[in-house]
Amino acid sequence: MVERYYRHALPLGGPNPFRCQGFVRDGTIAGQGCQPVPIETLPPFLRALLVTDGTVTKMLEAYFWEPVVVDTLRQEFVTAAAEIPWIDVHAGDRVLVRRARLRGADSCNHYAHALSLIRTERIPNSFRQRLIDREIGIGALIRDSGLESYREVMEIGVEPARTDGTVPTDAPTRTAADLAAISAVGGAEGASTAGTADHAAAALFRTYRIIIDRAPVILISETFPLALYI
């Protein structure tokens, strides 16, 4: 599950535009071997979710106007096979990996899936075991710990969805045609039927880290199925 982060063998080579701002003129989502997709063409609410440093669950509840439940799908300790510079993990370090789903309590819509890597040794003692035992979520940890913390967006991108509607956390980048279909969302009212099918199969993701007490502690990738936001 953590293989997606091994691609980033080195720290970011340049400034991160979304660290301090939500607007980047001419900002794009880069594809592998294809034309970049302008961020301005994405659905406005989804665009906000991708770049926000706020709490996604509260934003989803306010936008869709229903309670949003966080379902833990899987949790385990794993040993990193390679370094993950974004949270100072070295090969051989153990991290807690958690997969979760953000589900509408009334609609049962799966608004997002999340993959979290947690450096538990950097979690305050009073919260560490409760987090491991799933007594509290990451949001409650950040809210109740009383420690200084902030979120830093590291990457946004596009990845495909499985046929069952869930989003793989280690999915490859979409093809040029898929990215073009996503780019078309913000434009023509006369989008083609083929484009609509592509939209239904696509998901966007963002990866951000949570800094606690001036140290990177948690790395989270959230994926959002495009079909629910257009």
Question: In CATH, what number is assigned to the domain containing residue 47?
Answer: 3.40.1410.10
Contact 94, 78 (CB under 8 A): yes
Classify the C-alpha dihedral 123-125-127-130 as positive or negative.
positive
User: What are residue 70's phi and psi, to 5 degrees?
Assistant: -100, 110
Q: What is the DSSP string of 44-111?
A: HHHHHHHH--S-HHHHHHHHHTS-EEEEEEEEEEEE-SS-BGGGTB-TT-EEEEEEEEEEETTT--EE
Q: Which pair of tokens denotes residue 169?
A: 């956390």
- The pLDDT, as a whole number, for residue 162 is 52
5 CB-near residues (< 8 Å, 6+ apart): 84, 86, 117, 219
Residue by residue, pLDDT tens for the chain (230 residues) are 677 777 564 444 455 677 677 777 877 876 544 567 788 888 999 999 998 887 899 999 999 999 999 999 999 999 999 999 999 999 999 999 999 999 999 999 999 999 999 999 988 887 888 888 887 778 777 777 677 888 888 888 887 545 444 444 444 344 444 545 555 554 433 343 333 334 444 888 999 999 988 899 999 999 999 899 98
Q: Indicate the number of domains in the chain.
A: 1
- The pLDDT, as a whole number, for residue 196 is 39
- The pLDDT, as a whole number, for residue 24 is 78
Question: What range does the domain containing 121 cover?
Answer: 3-16+23-228
pTM: 0.80
User: What are residue 139's phi and psi, to 5 degrees?
Assistant: -60, -45
